Every structure is written in C-alpha cells, then in structure tokens.
Amino acid sequence: MSYVPPHLRSSSRTTTTTTTTTTAKPSSRTLDDQSKLSSSNSHINNDKSSGGASFSSFSHSNVSSRWSSGALSQASRARPDSVVPQWKPSDRVLGMKPEMIEEVCLRLNLDVSVSPDSASAPAPIESFTDMCLHPSIMKDIDNHGYTTPTSIQAQAMPVALSGRDLLGCAETGSGKTAAFTIPMIQHCLAQPPVQRGDGPLALVLAPTRELAQQIEKEVKAFSASLESFRTAIVVGGTNISEQRSELRAGVDVVVATPGRFIDHLQQRNTSLTRISFVVLDEADRMLDMGFEPQIREVMRNLSEKHQTLLFSATMPEEIEELAQEYLTKPVQVKVGKVSSPTANVTQTLEKVPESEKTDRLLALLVEEASRVEGTGHPFPLTIVFVERKTRCDEVAEALVAQGLHAVALHGGRTQTEREAALRDFRKGTTSILVATDVASRGLDVSGVAHVINLDLPKSMEDYVHRIGRTGRAGSMGQSTSFYTDRDMFLVANIKKAISDAGSGNAVAFATGKTARRKEKEAAAAQKQARVALSNSSTAGPASANIEDKYRFMFADSNNKKEGAADSAWDD
Ligand SMILES: Nc1ncnc2c1ncn2[C@@H]1O[C@H](COP(=O)(O)OP(=O)(O)OP(=O)(O)O)[C@@H](O)[C@H]1O
C-alpha cells in the first residue's frame, strides 16, 4: 500500500445533532430493597472520624449553599436526613487477627495509611460475599462475571462501605471503577428514597464525557436488578432539556462532567442537598483541565455530612492538596508503586523524525495488517495518540486512505460523532482509534492490544494513563512511542521505566505541578541549546540550514498554545 499525503485527499466529515443518554426506572425504591439492605447491614455505628458513628442526627441547617437548598420546585418539603449505612463485613472478616490482615495486605500489595488521630482502616476483604452487600448487588456482580475483588477493590470497598473518606490510587486497568460504584449503590440503598424534586444521593465527577458515560454504564450494570434505582448521565454536548426532566424527576446517582453539572445547578434543575456520597474520578485530570473552580464550588456547598472518594492511577501533589482540603481523615489506599506505568504493557521507544512519523505509523500498521491477513484473526484493536485535534483528523484520514479501519476521536467532534467513534471501536468494526488525550483517562475498551504514541504526551502522568489503555484487568498489552529530539526529557523517564520494569522494579515518577514545570524547563533548555547550536553553525540570522526534523520547533503553528483544552476539554 502506498501512502497518500493528507493534503491530496478530501475530507467529508459531517456534522450531526446531539443526543442524550439517561436512565430512568419507573418507581421509587421498594420496601423490599430496603428490607434486604437492612438485613445485609449490621447495627454498629459508623463515623468518619472514629471509623464508626451514626449520622442520624444530621441536619441541613448548616448548609450555606446557593444551590443546596430550595433549588427545586418542592423546596418547602423537608429533605430527609442522610444515613450512613450501618455496615459490617462477615463474621469471618471481623474475626481476622492483625497478623492475618497484614498478610493479606502484603499479598495484595496494599499500602494503607490513616492519619494518626483517626481509627485504623477496615480490614481488606478478599471475596464479595464477605462484604455483605445487598442481594441484588451481589446478583449483578455475579452477572457481570466478577468472582474476586481486585486489590484496590479489596481495600477500597470496605473503606467506602464503612462511611470513611478515601484517597485511592492503583494502576490503570485495576478495577477502580467498581471499587467506588458498588459501595456507592449500597450507600444509596440505605438512604430514604429519592422523590420528585430531590437532588441525587450520590455524585460522580469525571473529566471527560466518554469516561462519565462508561462509569454510568457500570453503575447501571451493578444496579440492574434494583427495580427502582435511577442513574442520570449529565455531560456536555447532549440535550440539556432531557437531562433537566430526568434530574427533576429525582435520581439516585448522577454521573457528570463538572461543567454541565454546574449548569444544571445554576438552572436549579438539581441540588446538592441530598448528596452524601461523592466520587472524584481522575481528579488530577479534572484539575489539569481547569475544572478546579467547579470542583471547589461543588465541594464547598455540599452538606456537612458526606463522604468523599478520590481516585486516580497517578497521584500528583495537587491531588494530595485537594485531599487535604476536602477529605476528612481519609484512608489512603495505594496498590503497588504510585504513578508508574503498568507492568502489563511492553513498552517500545522509537526515534522518528517529525516529518516521517505518519509514514512510519503507516508502515507499522500495514505490516500488522499483513501479519493478520489470512490468519482469520481481526486486526488488533489499536489506539494512536496524537497531540492535536487537526492532526488527529489528518492521521485518521491517512489511515483510511490506506484501507485501514480508523476513526478520529477528539474534543472538536460532535457528541454524536464521538459516541459513534467509540461505539465502533468497542465493537471492533473500527480497529484503529486515533485520539487526543480525550481518550487517555479511564477509557476501558476490552481487547486493546496496542497503544501507539505518534506524539508523546506532555508529561509522564499522561504517558502512564495513555499506555494504560492496554494491558488492563491482568491482560498483556504493547505500546510503541515515537519521539523526536524535543521529547528527550520525557524519553529519559520512559527509558528508566522500561529498564526498571525489565528488572521487575516498578518506578514511581515525580508527578504534579513541580514535575511538569521541571519537564517544561528541561525541554526549553534543550530547545535553547539546539537553537544556539543551529545559529552558530549557520551563516546568519536566517538560520536557513535548520534540519528538517527540527523545523517543527520553529514553525508558528508549533508555538500556538492550544493547551490541554485542545486535546481534552469537556464540559
Ligand atoms: N473484580 C473484577 N473481576 C474481573 N474483572 C474486573 C474486576 N474489576 C474490574 N474488572 C474489569 O477490569 C477492567 C478495568 O477496570 P476499570 O476500568 O475500573 O480500571 P481502572 O482502574 O479504573 O483503570 P483506569 O486507571 O485506566 O481508569 C474493566 O474491564 C473491568 O470490567
């Protein structure tokens, strides 16, 4: 196959209208659901500060929110108090001795810590049965095919079920979603039923629409057997009026991107009044994307008695700052080394001049296509990450022109296009997804075999999340990253990760603002050095002899600061 450059081809993308996805089940919670729940709970008290106390005396009078009270039409009706489910694990777990707990933590590679003035963390639980969950949730866990909790689930679930705040960190693809989804549903079942005009009982905020939609599916899956459980997805790019009716009717759980959720609060379509369970998934990404004001606004206006869970595969210092501000005596659960690439992915680095990247990508993919041809196997699902939206379209077009099944996913496409791209990729009808960082966090597509970084990301954190789209849930994956001279600082880190993984030594990277500043400074210093070298080796200020491979560094388009928003902004 020969490569046709993008400028010689025509683009025929169409724009379509938007849709909305919401879940509504008819009636409010049945008595049966609640009686099953109380039988699955014990009668110990739970308290965030002590590890167990009752929230039953909770009152909303101290909530100073613009949105939290009186936001909806039925504001005059007294809101029921939130309840901390009086949960306890099985007697077997309750009887575990400290040395047994230590042995389980060691075996599951768990690092659990609490602040000195708070109660110790609940014991990790190695079976779903030992969690004494509502029978319908147990049924749905079974239907989902989960037999044993993953390490993060083993520890995070009992923490969440006991009403404590949590800072959870575990590698990509390790099951963090169910670690909060399952306890969240159990928590909601213990609350007085939601009525029309009530705000939700639980809120999950996620950085991108795709991730929010995926989490909503997971909530639905684990609440499928609960007749009355209602979940709403609230993301930008979809029909706001349908979301409004859904929210006003009253839902148990809202899964949202921050911007759109704030829109609904401002329009008084929902409120924070009844929220007693909050999850910030990929919180560091939300901060990166500029959602900090929205997150703070929500967190500041919540009722006093609520529990908060923060999850990510990387734990930059901003997250720890956020945790300090908004978590009350949290239990910190870390699985393995924090912020390191998953050991399930074989990482390869390849130096490719900027101008040759697309050709090299095509060669790689065409070679792969010939390898599977005639074997009866489909082309392995592959994600190609690029830096910018425009490049994303160009690369996808280049691949399609070669007869490969590729589609672009980025924040510049319509919601319908984004959903269709991901749906086709999930189904396998499109085997190559060319994406910006909008797809780098949390996306779980089973069978992704290869992640290719056509452009390296800006930080090690993003690298860890990107390559974590493969090698999930214990499967093995492969990553190939192209790099140029401008990426040398990041490349040094990746090389270290590869050599450490080779020696069985997962390495934790410095992450967060400081690390990113250092990465930027190092890149700028390298660039300056190259400019100086280039100037001194050429005849004059025109620097006409800049090698082609360095030209991108001087081109105007390269200086345009499109920022994280270009790759991943969502609302
Ligand atoms: N206990 C379990 N048993 C079997 N499969 C599981 C279990 N828990 C989660 N999984 C599966 O593992 C995959 C990864 O889970 P999930 O998407 O929650 O990972 P994650 O830790 O949130 O990853 P990321 O950091 O990339 O967001 C999913 O396909 C999920 O269905």
Question: What does the domain layout of the chain look like in residue ranges?
Answer: 91-335, 345-501
Tokens of 100: 């047994």
Q: Which of 126, 140, 150 to mutate to test the pocket of ligand 1 (most atoms within 8 A of CB)?
A: 150
User: Is the pTM of the predicted complex or chain greater than 0.90?
Assistant: no
Q: Which of 128, 146, 255 to mutate to test the pocket of ligand 1 (most atoms within 8 A of CB)?
A: 146
Q: Ligand 1 atom closest to Cα of 170?
A: 21
Q: Ligand 1 atom closest to Cα of 150?
A: 1
- pLDDT category of residue 319 using cuts at 50, 70 and 90: confident
Q: Which of 472, 475, 476, 511 to mutate to test the pocket of ligand 1 (most atoms within 8 A of CB)?
A: 472
pLDDT at 545 over 60: no
Tokens of 89: 């694990």
Q: What is the CATH number of domain 91-335?
A: 3.40.50.300
Average pLDDT of 191-220?
95
Q: What is the pLDDT of residues 18-61, one digit of tens each?
A: 333 333 343 335 444 444 554 444 333 333 433 332 222 223 33
Q: What is the pLDDT of residues 492-510, one digit of tens each?
A: 989 988 877 655 444 334 4
C-alpha distance from residue 512 to each of 324, 336, 453, 457, 488 (Å): 15, 19, 21, 14, 19
Distance (Å, whole) CA 1 – CA 363: 9
Q: What is the pLDDT of residues 422-478, one digit of tens each?
A: 999 999 999 999 999 999 998 999 999 999 999 999 889 899 999 999 999 888 999
Of 55-69, 97-111, 477-491, 504-518, the one with minimum mean pLDDT is: 55-69
User: Which of 285, 312, 330 has the alpha carbon at shortest distance from 177?
Assistant: 312
Stated as kind and residue range, the H or E segment containing 167 is strand 166-169
Specify the residue for token string 């777990």: 93
Measured in Å, residue 311 CA sits from the centre of ligand 1 at 13
Measured in Å, residue 473 CA sits from the centre of ligand 1 at 6
- pLDDT category of residue 257 using cuts at 50, 70 and 90: very high
Tokens of 417: 């296009």
Measured in Å, residue 472 CA sits from the centre of ligand 1 at 7
Are residues 421 and 30 in contact, defined by beta-carbon separation less than 8 angstroms? Answer: no
- Which DSSP string corresponds to 377-435? PPPPEEEEE-S-HHHHHHHHHHHHHTT--EEEE-TTS-HHHHHHHHHHHHHTSS-EEEE
For atom 23 of ligand 1, which residue has the closest CA?
173
- Fold that domain 345-501 belongs to in CATH: Rossmann fold (3.40.50)
For atom 16 of ligand 1, which residue has the closest CA?
175
Count of beta carbons in the 10 Å neighbourhood of residue 176: 26
- pLDDT of amino acid 526: 54
Classified as helix, coil or strand, 213 is helix
Ligand 1 interacting residues, C-beta cut-off 6 A: 146, 148-150, 153, 170, 172-178, 313, 442, 444, 446, 468, 472-473
Tokens of 443: 């996306």
Stated as kind and residue range, the H or E segment containing 108 is none
Instruction: Look up residue 188 and give its amino acid.
Output: C
For atom 31 of ligand 1, which residue has the closest CA?
175
Q: Are strands 406-409 and 448-453 parallel, antiparallel or unpaired?
A: unpaired
Distance (Å, whole) CA 277 – CA 124: 21
Measured in Å, residue 73 CA sits from the centre of ligand 1 at 39
Measured in Å, residue 175 CA sits from the centre of ligand 1 at 3
pLDDT at 176 over 50: yes
Q: Ligand 1 atom closest to Cα of 211?
A: 27
H helices of 327-388, in order, are 357-372
For atom 30 of ligand 1, which residue has the closest CA?
175
Measured in Å, residue 176 CA sits from the centre of ligand 1 at 6
End-to-end distance of the chain based on CA atoms, in angstroms? 40
Classified as helix, coil or strand, 58 is coil
Largest CA distance in the chain: 85
Burial class (CB in 10 A: 0-12, 13-18, 19+), 552: middle
Sequence-separated (6 or more) residues with CB below 8 Å from residue 469: 172, 383, 439, 440, 443, 445, 448, 451, 477
Measured in Å, residue 251 CA sits from the centre of ligand 1 at 25
Q: Ligand 1 atom closest to Cα of 144?
A: 31
Q: Which of 108, 174, 446 to mutate to test the pocket of ligand 1 (most atoms within 8 A of CB)?
A: 174
Are residues 164 and 330 in contact, defined by beta-carbon separation less than 8 angstroms? Answer: yes
Q: What is the pLDDT of residues 59-72, one digit of tens each?
A: 333 333 455 544 44
For atom 4 of ligand 1, which residue has the closest CA?
146
Average pLDDT of 370-387?
91
User: Which of 30, 51, 32 has the alpha carbon at shortest distance from 40?
Assistant: 32
Measured in Å, residue 28 CA sits from the centre of ligand 1 at 30
- pLDDT of amino acid 77: 60
CATH topology identical between 91-335 and 345-501:
yes
Q: Ligand 1 atom closest to Cα of 214?
A: 17
For atom 12 of ligand 1, which residue has the closest CA?
473
Average pLDDT of 403-415?
94
Distance (Å, whole) CA 222 – CA 480: 35
For atom 27 of ligand 1, which residue has the closest CA?
442
Distance (Å, whole) CA 395 – CA 172: 26
Distance (Å, whole) CA 422 – CA 469: 13
User: Which of 236, 258, 261 has the alpha carbon at shortest distance from 247?
Assistant: 261
- pLDDT of amino acid 66: 52
For atom 22 of ligand 1, which residue has the closest CA?
176
Sequence-separated (6 or more) residues with CB below 8 Å from residue 25: 227, 228, 229, 230
Q: Which of 444, 466, 469, 479 to mutate to test the pocket of ligand 1 (most atoms within 8 A of CB)?
A: 444
Are residues 384 and 454 in contact, defined by beta-carbon separation less than 8 angstroms? Answer: yes
Are residues 478 and 449 in contact, defined by beta-carbon separation less than 8 angstroms? Answer: yes
Average pLDDT of 107-134?
94
Distance (Å, whole) CA 319 – CA 227: 37
Task: Encode burial over 202-239: b for 16+ CB neighbours within 10 A, e otherwise.
Answer: bbbbbbbbbbbbbbbbbbbebbbbbebbbbbbbbbbbe
Are residues 257 and 442 in contact, defined by beta-carbon separation less than 8 angstroms? Answer: no
Measured in Å, residue 474 CA sits from the centre of ligand 1 at 9
Helix 176-189 / helix 135-143 crossing angle, nearest 10 deg = 150
Measured in Å, residue 185 CA sits from the centre of ligand 1 at 17
Q: Which of 143, 177, 309, 469 to mutate to test the pocket of ligand 1 (most atoms within 8 A of CB)?
A: 177
Measured in Å, residue 470 CA sits from the centre of ligand 1 at 12
Stated as kind and residue range, the H or E segment containing 253 is strand 253-256
Tokens of 327: 């978590």
Measured in Å, residue 179 CA sits from the centre of ligand 1 at 9
User: Which of 41, 445, 29 has the alpha carbon at shortest distance from 253?
Assistant: 29
